[in-house]
Structure 1
Amino acid sequence: MEPNLIVQKNPKEPIKDKEKIYSLFLGIGFTILIACIGFGLSIIPKLGYIGPFACAILVSVLYRQIFGYPEHIRIGIQFSSKYFLRFAIVLYGLKLNMNVIFNQGFMIMIKSVITVLFSFIVLMLIAKLIKADLNLSLLLSIGTGICGAAAIAAISPIIKAKEEDTAMGIGIIALVGTIFSIIYPLLFPFLHLSNAEYGTWAGLSLHEIANVALAAAPAGENALTFALLSKLSRVFLLIPVSFLFILWMNKKGIKKETEVKFTFPWFLIGFILMSFLGSYFIGELIETKELNIPIDFLTSFLLTMAMTGLGLNINAKELRMKAIRPFIAILITSLFLSIFAFFCF
């Protein structure tokens, strides 16, 4: 009987392999399709403010609620949400010009450190006060303090966050960041700030690089320059903050013997290497339109593909129940951060 069983089992293995390959490529193709839809929706004026990331998440959430999770292509979807996400974070390192930050002195870095600490402490205190979900609030505090969705995406695998929390965090921070980036230019004429002061304020208080650019651009090139410089100093802090969380997770793993062994996020090393590469070796090359635009597009598109996988893990009922309090927490924190940065910096 044993030889017969072996003969019967072997032909099935290639079939399973083929099914996995089909699932992989169809799943990747599905995330590409949703990413294209996300980019297409972001072209629409009103939806353009929230960007392709949030649009892709919204489309994915709607798909999940209407059609359910596409289990037959799960392998490809998970591949996109895991590996393309990490690759995009590595490419994101090219946006961080360390040379500019170091040359401008450390005063702006000190302000950025204060911004990160302020965001983390205030948001977590509010989250505890209103009994918001602490894991989701932790992700939002990191995103608020550093660089929005990219920071959440980078920290999530380090702290072993659930994919649904990552997706909700990115969606929430995209919405709140958009609201504030629209309000800032409307307030500018009444604030009696110079262009440089306004740009610095925007760079130290808004969430995403895109939010900063959107808010600072109407005030002129000088404002935009100071805004991006201030924002890049916060992006730089993604490196030490990530390593602090790595140490925290290691200590946590030691205390809990039953916990899964912590794996080092090697993509973070790629992020650092890309930062140094773009800052000191190929900076002039990647600043040309021929390379800058394609790199920015590829980074955004890969992140948008990853958002598809994250969005499909969201249950609408859980979203309503779980996200409302963290949303209130980040909204209040963002308001406090704007006031704090305005009067203190």
Structure 2
Amino acid sequence: MSQNNMAYVGTTTNFKPKSRLFRFYGGILFTLAIAAIGTVASNLPILDRIGAMLTSILIAVVYGNVFGYPESIHTGIQFSGHKILRFAIILYGFKLNIDVVINQGGLLLVHDILSILVAISITVLLGKLFKGEKMLTLLLGIGTGVCGAAAIAAVSPVVNADDEDTALGAGIIALVGTVFAIGYALIRPILPISPVQFGIWSGISLHEIAHVAAAAATAGPNALEIGLLAKLGRVFLLIPLSMILSLWTRRNKKQGEAKRAPFPWFLIGFLAASIIGTYFHIPKIILKEISDVIGPFLLAAAMVGLGLHVNVSRLRNRALRPLLAMLIASIVLSVFSYATLWF
């Protein structure tokens, strides 16, 4: 072999590892960069109403449909959309104070269970009636009943949802939840309920923690405190719900595939984070940084990785009917949970 050929072989051999590193780290940095842009942009008028995660998803969807999916960094994007997603859900566990939920939110847990049952069952039933996409409909029902995009992100790997369904579900739930939060704040002055009742109503019916905080805060600090407590109960119920879904998924798989059904190990991490945040003496400023800054940012980056898969031309066929089912279910949940305040 000539020296030129030997040099060429050596160059090729050295290039491949660099290429693999670029596909991996380049993809991760790409999703983090878009999440950072989305986080900054979410401070702008209008975008400040929908939040950093939805803004990041929208940027990713626009990029993917205008410039195409960046295949050259696919490995890192996939890592963000799956591995970083699970890590973000684990960090989300620091938001959950188990001791407060168990000792102070006992009765509220009954409301929370009813909310989850109503939201999921009505969304799924309407999805079947409207002949909507089954998986996307299920994700929207879970997001409506439990804790919005975080719930969708948590259960997606459990029920084997694809990336497009997960990104669509998270984006829809964040947008609709924002509209409902604004609506709650606007109608609060005309409702014949106390600030505490309004906080409970917000906590047991609105989609995300941020939506509950935004709506309940308009009724004062007591409403905000009880609203967040009610919402944390729904977050707590994400753990048993995910376990039930895992068993359901395994049972519905063919016998030969049953062993390959994934167990949601990351939810053990979610529970561990909740226990650490509740019972270990960690400075509140550190917990707040993890749960309110690092966790949401990583979740936004993960959603960017999923949002790049969304094909806008398919949105009308795939998302319209599940969206309609989820909208009706959200209205029913609001009315139902309002009625339960008097019992």
**Is the CA contact 2:277–2:287 (under 8 Å) kept in the aligned structure 1?**
no
Equivalent residue, structure 1, for 2:322: 326
Q: Deviations 1:257-303 (Å, cap 9, x if unpaired)?
A: 25671122221110011111111113xx342x354135421001101
Amino acid at match of 2:266: F
Q: Distance in 2 between matches of 1:315 and 1:286?
A: 43
Equivalent residue, structure 2, for 1:186: 186
Question: What residue ranges of structure 2 are gaps of 5+ in the alignment?
Answer: 1-6
Q: Output aligned runs, 1:1-345, within 5 Å.
A: 12-253=12-253, 255-258=254-257, 261-282=260-281, 285-287=282-284, 289-345=285-341
Q: Distance in 2 between matches of 1:41 and 1:35?
A: 10
Does 162-171 or 19-28 show the bigger shift? 19-28
SS in 2 for 1:43: coil
Q: Distance in 2 between matches of 1:92 and 1:13?
A: 42
Amino acid at match of 1:130: F
Amino acid at match of 1:274: A
Q: Distance in 1 between matches of 2:287 and 2:269?
A: 19
Q: Distance in 2 between matches of 1:237 and 1:119?
A: 14
Amino acid at match of 1:83: K
Residue correspondences, number: 338
Amino acid at match of 1:96: L
Amino acid at match of 1:55: T
Indicate the percent of aligned positions where both proteins have the same amino acid: 47
SS in 1 for 2:161: coil
Does 48-57 or 105-114 show the bigger shift? 105-114
Residues 1:194 and 1:120: Cα distance change in structure 2 (over 3 Å): same
Does 139-148 or 19-28 show the bigger shift? 19-28
Q: How does the TM-score come out when normalised to structure 2?
A: 0.94
**Is the CA contact 2:49–2:178 (under 8 Å) kept in the aligned structure 1?**
yes
**Is the CA contact 2:217–2:223 (under 8 Å) kept in the aligned structure 1?**
yes
Amino acid at match of 1:340: F
SS in 1 for 2:42: helix
Residues 1:227 and 1:260: Cα distance change in structure 2 (over 3 Å): same
Note the C-alpha offset of 1:16. Answer: 2.2
Does 107-116 or 225-234 show the bigger shift? 107-116
Task: Give the 4+ runs in structure 1 shifted more than 3 A.
Answer: 7-14
Note the C-alpha offset of 1:340. Answer: 0.5
Residues 1:76 and 1:104: Cα distance change in structure 2 (over 3 Å): same
**Is the CA contact 1:147–1:209 (under 8 Å) kept in the aligned structure 2?**
yes
Amino acid at match of 2:261: F
Q: Distance in 2 between matches of 1:12 and 1:156?
A: 39
Question: What residue ranges of structure 1 are gaps of 5+ in the alignment?
Answer: 1-6
**Is the CA contact 2:94–2:290 (under 8 Å) kept in the aligned structure 1?**
no
**Is the CA contact 1:278–1:286 (under 8 Å) kept in the aligned structure 2?**
no
**Is the CA contact 1:123–1:330 (under 8 Å) kept in the aligned structure 2?**
yes
Note the C-alpha offset of 1:9. Answer: 8.0
**Is the CA contact 2:86–2:154 (under 8 Å) kept in the aligned structure 1?**
yes
Amino acid at match of 2:128: K
Q: How does the TM-score come out when normalised to structure 1?
A: 0.93
Q: Distance in 1 between matches of 2:136 and 2:17?
A: 37
SS in 1 for 2:260: coil
Amino acid at match of 2:104: Q
SS in 2 for 1:160: coil
Residues 1:141 and 1:9: Cα distance change in structure 2 (over 3 Å): farther
Q: Distance in 1 between matches of 2:100 and 2:8?
A: 65
Note the C-alpha offset of 1:192. Answer: 1.6
Does 208-217 or 292-301 show the bigger shift? 292-301
**Is the CA contact 2:250–2:258 (under 8 Å) kept in the aligned structure 1?**
no
Q: Distance in 2 between matches of 1:52 and 1:164?
A: 19
Q: Deviations 1:131-185 (Å, cap 9, x if unpaired)?
A: 1111100001111110000000000001110000000000110111000000001
Equivalent residue, structure 2, for 1:3: none
Amino acid at match of 1:320: R
Residues 1:251 and 1:97: Cα distance change in structure 2 (over 3 Å): same
Q: Distance in 2 between matches of 1:26 and 1:74?
A: 9
Q: Distance in 2 between matches of 1:79 and 1:157?
A: 13
